[in-house]
Chain A
Amino acid sequence: GAVVSQHPSWVICKSGTSVKIECRSLDFQATTMFWYRQFPKKSLMLMATSNEGSKATYEQGVEKDKFLINHASLTLSTLTVTSAHPEDSSFYICSANGRTVDTQYFGPGTRLTVL
């Protein structure tokens, strides 16, 4: 139980384009999902908290107009990187709370490369 999927697993795009990443909880409903970014050999940095049916809460320094988050259902949250630039290249990982309120289960991550 508590399986989280993410799609795509990797994506390469040109600078200036937008990329959408999906995060799904497969066998449970997640009222809250989290989006993290991880640069090589670094820790996971929380970007935003996504709540079903309401606006996401962004961490300080994360541009909400650049990283659009939508959580339209209890099993799906999406992150759209708009007007991507090479410095946005990173490993993006989502997570969702499992059956206990604080345990988080992570998706497999999406490696974004912006050329």
Chain B
Amino acid sequence: GENVEQHPSTLSVQEGDSAVIKCTYSDSASNYFPWYKQELGKRPQLIIDIRSNVGEKKDQRIAVTLNKTAKHFSLHITETQPEDSAVYFCAASGARALTFGSGTRLQVQP
């Protein structure tokens, strides 16, 4: 089955700096890679996703890159704000079911 590894587990940045979270996956058949933001005690919220036919996708301050050959994808958040503080999960899927990474706790210091 699919195995997704996520790094780092915690990340602390100053407000206005950029944050990068990286994930690798094992199953070359995976073709969908979403990123979720989860605040304490709440549901995961889809923030951006990318499919295997695309190398990069951007939505305002958030961007995701995908390297299919190396089987890794990354989340980039620019101009971070305190409200970006949360746990971020990457995931991968090839046939509906998602396999999640272990999560990154991002803390943005004001």
Q: Who on chain B is nearest to A2 by CB?
A: B46
Q: A87-115: which residues lie under 8 A (CB-CB) from chain B?
A: 91, 93, 95, 97, 101-109, 111
Q: Please tell me which one of the listed residues B42, B49, B97 contacts residue A109 in the complex, with CB atoms under 8 A apart.
A: B42
Q: Please tell me which one of the listed residues A34, A43, A109 contacts residue B101 in the complex, with CB atoms under 8 A apart.
A: A43
Q: Please tell me which one of the listed residues B36, B41, B98, B103 contacts residue A46 in the complex, with CB atoms under 8 A apart.
A: B98
A102 and B89 contact, Cβ closer than 8 Å, known pairs A49-B96, A93-B43: no
Chain A residue numbers with a CB within 8 Å of B97 are 34, 46, 49
**B100 and A44 form a contact (CB under 8 A):** yes
**A102 and B44 form a contact (CB under 8 A):** no
Chain A residue numbers with a CB within 8 Å of B102 are 42-43
Q: Please tell me which one of the listed residues B34, B42, B103 contacts residue A104 in the complex, with CB atoms under 8 A apart.
A: B34
> What's the tally of chain B residues with a CB closer than 8 Å to chain A?
20
Chain A residue numbers with a CB within 8 Å of B80 are none
A93 and B44 contact, Cβ closer than 8 Å, known pairs A102-B93, A103-B49: yes
Q: Who on chain B is nearest to A44 by CB?
A: B100
Bound-state Cα–Cα, A49 to B1, Å: 15
Most buried by B among A102, A105, A108: A102
The A/B interface has a contact count, at CB < 8 Å, of 47
How many residues of A sit at the interface, in one of the four size bands?
A: 20 to 34
Chain A residue numbers with a CB within 8 Å of B34 are 103-104
Binding site for A on B (CB under 8 A): 32, 34, 36, 41-46, 49, 89, 93, 96-103
Binding site for B on A (CB under 8 A): 32, 34, 42-46, 49, 91, 93, 95, 97, 101-109, 111
Give 11 CB contacts A-B under 8 Å: A43-B89, A43-B100, A45-B100, A49-B97, A93-B43, A97-B96, A103-B32, A106-B44, A108-B43, A109-B41, A109-B42
Q: A102-B32, A109-B42, A109-B43 are in contact. List 16 more A-B contacts (CB 8 A).
A: A34-B97, A34-B98, A43-B100, A45-B100, A46-B97, A46-B98, A91-B41, A93-B44, A95-B98, A97-B96, A103-B32, A103-B46, A104-B98, A106-B45, A107-B43, A108-B43
